[in-house]
Amino acid sequence: MQECSFHPVSTGLGFVSISILHTFIAKFNTMKKNLILLLLIPCFISLSSCEKEKTKKAPDTKIFKVELFKASLESQLNSAMGYAFVINKDGQWVDSTSSGVGYQNASNGVTGPASVLFDINIASVTKTITAMAAIKLLEEKGLSVEGTIGNWLPGYWNASGPMSNITFRQLLTHTSGIRQSNTSWDSLQATISGQLEGAQSYSYSNANFALFRALLPKINDQAGFDALEANSPSFETWMSNKYIDIVQTQVFDPAGIFNASCNVSPGVTTMQAFNEIGTPLVAQNAGDWTELCGGGGFYLSTIEMARLMAYVAHSNFILTQSQKTLMDGSLFGWDPGDSFTTTRGQVYGKDGALFWDNDGDTQVSGGDSGLQTWVGKFPNGVELSLSVTSIPSNFRNLATIVKVAYELAWVDE
CB 295 within 8 A of CB 209: yes
Using DSSP, state whether 382 is helix, strand or coil: strand
333-354 b/e (C-beta count within 10 Å ≥ 16 → b):
bbbeebbbeeebeebbbbbbbb
- Specify which residues 84 forms β-bridges with: 98, 387
Nearest to 120 by CA among 337, 10, 284, 340: 284
Q: Is the peptide bond before 280 cis (omega within 30 degrees of 0)?
A: yes
**CB of 99 closer than 8 Å to CB of 114:** yes
Q: How far apart are CA 244 and CA 293, in angstroms?
A: 8
Burial classification of residue 383, based on how many CB atoms lie within 10 Å of its CB (0-12 exposed, 13-18 middle, 19 or more buried): buried
Which among 233, 92, 239 has a CA at the least distance from the CA of 152? Answer: 239
Cα 394 to Cα 285: distance, rounded to the nearest angstrom = 19
Per-residue pLDDT of the chain (413 residues; tens, 9 = 90+): 333 322 323 333 222 333 334 433 333 333 434 443 433 334 544 444 344 444 555 567 899 999 999 999 999 999 999 999 999 999 999 999 999 999 999 999 999 999 999 999 999 999 999 999 999 999 999 999 999 999 999 999 999 999 999 999 999 999 999 999 999 999 999 999 999 999 999 999 999 999 999 999 999 999 999 999 999 899 999 999 999 999 999 999 999 999 999 999 999 999 999 999 999 999 999 999 999 999 999 999 999 999 999 999 999 999 999 999 999 999 999 999 999 999 999 999 999 999 999 999 999 999 999 999 999 999 999 999 999 999 999 999 999 999 999 999 999 98
